[in-house]
């Protein structure tokens, strides 16, 4: 299967990368994060049912799943599988209140 990374998910990746690079002053961790994102998305593409189902009241989020980023277990990939494409919705820290973030992204 192919993957499509949404704009919000791209922003999430960039935000985490910058955090690791500048605030944590860890270029190695920042590069490892990018590699881990890529590997984790590849895992999802090979087995779309691998992630844990999540449930929200917004019908546009029906079927959303989450999967931990390899080597960064507190960061989760939230994705949908509409047909033959994996749509990466967000990539967020697991301690965030993701409900409002995801609900907001899917309005309209």
The pTM is what?
Answer: 0.90
Q: pLDDT by residue for the chain (108 residues), tens digit each?
A: 899 999 999 999 999 999 999 999 999 999 999 999 999 999 999 999 999 998 888 788 889 999 999 999 999 999 999 889 999 999 998 777 777 777 766 543
Domain covering 2-105 assigned CATH 3.30.2310.20 in the classification: yes
The domains of the chain are located at 2-105
Tokens of 31: 């590069």
Residues with Cβ within 8 Å of residue 27, at least 6 apart in sequence? 21
| Residue pointed to by tokens 């820290």 | 93
């Amino acid at each position: 299967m192919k993957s499509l990374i949404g704009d919000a998910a791209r922003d999430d990746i960039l935000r985490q990368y910058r955090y690791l690079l500048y605030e944590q002053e860890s270029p190695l961790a920042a590069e490892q994060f990018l590699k881990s994102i890529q590997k984790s998305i590849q895992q999802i593409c090979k087995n779309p049912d691998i992630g844990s189902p999540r449930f929200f009241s917004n019908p546009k989020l029906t079927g959303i799943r989450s999967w931990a980023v390899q080597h960064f277990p507190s960061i989760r990939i939230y994705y949908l599988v509409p047909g033959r494409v994996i749509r990466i919705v967000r990539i967020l820290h697991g301690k965030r209140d993701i409900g409002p973030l995801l609900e907001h992204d899917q309005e309209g």
